[in-house]
Amino acid sequence: MLGKLTWAAVPLDQPIPLVAGCVAFGLVGGIVVYVVLKGWAPYLWREWITSVDHKHIGVMYIFLAMVMLLRGFTDAIMMRSQQALAFQAPGYLPPEHYNQIFSAHGTLMILFVGMPFMIGLINIIVPLQLGVRDVAFPTLNSVSFWLTATGALLINLSLVIGEFARTGWLPYPPLSELAYSPGVGVDYYLWSLQISGVGTLLTGVNFVTTILKIRAPGMTYMRMPIFCWTALASSLLIIAVFPVLTATLAMLLLDRYLGFHFFTNEAGGNPMMFMNLIWVWGHPEVYILILPAFGVFSEVVSTLSGKPLFGYRSMVAATMAICILSQMVWLHHFFTMGAGADVNAFFGIATMIIAVPTGVKVYNWLFTMYGGRIRYAQPMMWSIGFMVTFVIGGMTGVLLAVPPADFVVHNSLFLVAHFHNVIIGGVLFGAFAGYTFWFPKAFGFRLEESLGRAAFWCWFFGFYLAFMPLYVLGLMGMTRRMQHYDVPAWHPWLLVAAAGVVVILAGIGLQIAQLVVSIRHREQLRDTTGDPWNGRSLEWSTASPPPAFNFAVEPRIEEGDAYWETKQRAIRQQVLADEPVYTDIDLPRNSATGFVCAFFATFLGFALIWHIWWLAAASFLGAYATFVAFAWRDRTEVRVPAEEVARIDRENRSARRVALAQLGAAE
């Protein structure tokens, strides 16, 4: 009846995950009860859970990413403290638990922090920058989000029911095969990634279609903001490589569930094929994360330097070059496999070539700042912190791309330091730059400045403190994923790294404090005009937060930096453009399809993990029925009458008129 699921699945003998899981789920349950008692449930259901508005979906993505960041960071604290304590001692984490922690940390941080954060920013901003009212497939967008949330939920469920994979964030066979990992840990990993992977793939389809087919009149490719270009490159990569992930994980599932021999050691199976296939996805995956971050930095640096972006066309070319080159370097993750000198040389050189377009980007940002009026606001600080940090990570990356050097530091902490250097310094700093830059657009008030600066400095120095020692340790020969060790020379460096994590923790604490303080003081921090940074692209031409229809009338674009020239004209002439003729606007109707579908997908995943076949069949039928019900509905749109559009737009116009008058009086 319940497959493999018994009471033994609850780890009563392991207090740490059990208590942590109970606290986490108790907290979530408490919040749900509080929300219901306060009577907020209908509002949440109407405005968020069933919303197909890209801005709301984007906010939910980022919320998910931040919650998962806390979970993934907790794992990081545990690993660093374990290694600080486990010098000639067992530490406090038994090996099987320690292995689950580093596996969960990597999986969560890449797939449920980095991905949702970037996809969230893309969701909120890209349709606004393109001057359109929504994405190509709004309901599909909601489905994508909720499937991602399902994946995250399943991984966290493994805390209290069963266990998580002990294989590392990529489940290399033969260790991940049934013979060596008989538990449900790898199954949790596989099914949560399969389900969230479908969501990610649909997001990729949605944004490629949106960017290529739905743009405001006059928004030609060469007038699109760089963030849209990077979102396009990222979405193209999703379409190109996520299907490979799905296929690869499906093969491992077939091995585990039905006794196939794709990656086993027996009957002709080939474990090295797994390394090839998984990295065909895995390497482009890191570019899926970093390219939108590059887009964020381009927008931030240009806006806060008060200049158009230097070398726009070279930036576009560099983005698309990285998009293609990133798919040709996967083998550098396993130079030591023994593919031979010529193969290794090809992939080593291909890897180094990627440094060229990336270098072009760094110089473009520097030249954008050169001669500009730079405002050192929070997003700019994250951007400059990125440029300094990322260049170091890039250089160690080029070093690792040299096969003989890679043989020396392969699988050492040098590698761990390198990819944290580019992912924290690149992706996470980019996420925070975007978060602080576009927060006023999404919510209508700014984030408090001084706490944000303090958070930045904690993150910045905490990062160096935590990861520079790992470079040294790697060169000293310490391999990754060690639960304990006996080398005295390593110990002080690991203590420094642990101290670094404490400083980062302070940074995260300050970010939470910043959010709380900003919400409490939102009236003082209010962004009345919708253009708090003196922005250049179309998202700043509408109110903050934008109305459901984004733009009262469809914008017409005549040049790059689409909003800048309109604004300069208004400032020169001291009048806003004439009031447009308002018309009725049709918007897609809310739909619970995504939420209900994810509800069934959660049960489907859980049933498959625990071999509860009747529940799996019932959940699949439920998900199918949900889609049929969606396809059967007769009304798909709601109409916002012209008077309502006019009322909302006139409010924003009067705020901008006041701002314009103040500007005129100041001059």
Partner 1 sequence: MSIVQDVALGDDLIGVGRRSLAGRPRFEHAQRSIASKRIIAAFGFWIFLISDIIMFSAFFAAYAVLSGETAGGPSGKDVFSFTRVALETAALLLSSFACGVASIGARARSDAMYYGGMAVTALLGAAFLLLELSEFYGLIAQGAGPTRSAFLSSFFALVGCHGLHVTLGLLWLLTMMAQVFAKGYRSDIMRRILCFALFWHTLDIIWVGIFTVVYLMGLAI
Measured CA to CA, the distance from residue 86 to residue 92 in angstroms comes to 8
CB of 178 to partner 1, least distance (A): 12
Q: Is 209 in the site for partner 1 (CB under 8 A)?
A: yes
Among 179, 273, 515, 592, binds partner 1 (CB under 8 A): 273
Question: Which residues are catalytic, by number?
Answer: 61, 71, 75, 79, 102, 123, 134, 141, 144, 148, 200, 203, 210, 283, 285, 287, 298, 314, 358, 361, 418-420
Closest approach of partner 1 to the CB of residue 180, in Å: 18
Nearer residue to partner 1 within complex by CB, 91 or 174: 174
H/E/C letters for each residue in 73-96? HHHHHHHHHHHHHCECCCCCCCHH
Other C-beta atoms lying within 10 Å of the C-beta of residue 92: 13
How big is the chain by its Cα radius of gyration, in Å?
25
d(CA 300, CA 390) in angstroms, rounded, equals: 16
* Interface with partner 1 (CB under 8 A), residue from 581, 631, 665, 666: 631
Q: Does 644 bind partner 1 (CB under 8 A)?
A: no
Site string for partner 1, 179-208 (x = CB under 8 A): ----------------------xx-xxx-x
Q: How far apart are CA 587 and CA 548, in angstroms?
A: 8
With CB under 8 A as the contact rule, the residue among 30, 90, 217, 664 that binds partner 1 is 217
266 phi, psi to nearest 5 deg: -100, 165
* CB closer to partner 1 out of 449 and 554: 554
What are the angstrom distances between the C-alpha of 320 and each of 230, 312, 354, 401, 579? 8, 13, 11, 21, 39
Measure the CA–CA gap between 24 and 4, rounded to whole angstroms.
Answer: 25
Burial track 189-220 (b if 16+ CB lie within 10 A, e otherwise):
bbbbbbbbbbbbbbbbbbbbebbeebbbeebe
- State the minimum distance, in angstroms, from the CB of residue 271 to partner 1: 11
Minimum distance from residue 123 beta carbon to partner 1 (Å): 16
x/- letters, 15..54, toward partner 1 (CB under 8 A): ----------------------------------------
CB 601, min distance to partner 1, A: 16
The DSSP code for 49 is I
User: CA–CA separation, 213 vs 232, rounded Å?
Assistant: 12
* # binding residues, partner 1 (CB under 8 A): 50
CA distance 1 to 358: 55
Single residue of 636, 643, 651, 658 touching partner 1 by CB under 8 A: 636
User: CB-wise, 134 or 406, nearer to partner 1?
Assistant: 134
Binding track, positions 394-433, relative to partner 1; x by CB under 8 A: ----------------------------------------
Cα-based distances in Å from 385 to 364, 436, 470, 506, 546 = 16, 14, 20, 17, 30
Token digits for 378? Answer: 């929070």
Shortest distance in whole angstroms from residue 634 CB to partner 1: 8
Per-residue binder mask for partner 1 (CB under 8 A), 231-270, x = binder: --------xxxxxx-xxx-xx--xx--xxxxx-x-xxxxx
Q: How many CB atoms lie within 10 A of CB 313?
A: 9
Q: Per-residue x/- marks for partner 1, 274-313, CB under 8 A? A: ---x--x---------------------------------
Q: Which of residues 477-496 bind partner 1 (CB under 8 A)?
A: none
Q: Round to whole Å and give the CA distance between 515 and 451.
A: 9
Q: Which is nearer to partner 1, 99 or 264 (CB)?
A: 264
* 146/602 Cα distance (integer angstroms): 10
666 to each of 299, 454, 605, 662, how far by Cα in Å?
A: 27, 32, 61, 6
CA geometry: angle 151, 122, 40, nearest 5 deg: 65
| Residue 267: CB minimum distance to partner 1, A | 4
Residue 203 Cβ vs partner 1, minimum distance, rounded to whole Å: 12
Those residues with Cβ within 8 angstroms of residue 467's Cβ, 6 or more apart along the chain or in another chain = 417, 420, 421, 424, 497, 500
Near partner 1 in 533-572, by CB under 8 A:
554
Binding to partner 1 (CB under 8 A) within 601-630 occurs at 624, 628
DSSP calls for 234-277 = HHHHHHHHHHHHHHHHHHHHHHHHH---SS-SSTT--HHHHHHH
Q: Is the Cβ of residue 216 or residue 562 nearer to partner 1 in the bound state? A: 216
Nearer to partner 1, 138 or 462 (CB): 138
Q: Which is nearer to partner 1, 100 or 591 (CB)?
A: 591
- Max CA separation in the chain (angstroms): 82
Q: Among residues 277 and 427, whose Cβ is nearest to partner 1?
A: 277
CB of 210 to partner 1, least distance (A): 9
Burial of 518 (0-12, 13-18, 19+ CB in 10 A): buried
Residue with smaller CB distance to partner 1, 49 or 205: 205
* Closest CB to partner 1 among residues 205, 472: 205
> Rounded to whole angstroms, how far apart are CA atoms 322 and 229?
12
State the minimum distance, in angstroms, from the CB of residue 245 to partner 1. Answer: 9
Q: Is 216 in the site for partner 1 (CB under 8 A)?
A: yes
Interface with partner 1 in residues 132-171 (CB under 8 A): 132, 136-137
Residues in touch with partner 1 (CB under 8 A): 132, 136-137, 201-202, 204-206, 208-209, 212-217, 239-244, 246-248, 250-251, 254-255, 258-262, 264, 266-270, 273, 277, 280, 554, 624, 628, 631-632, 634, 636
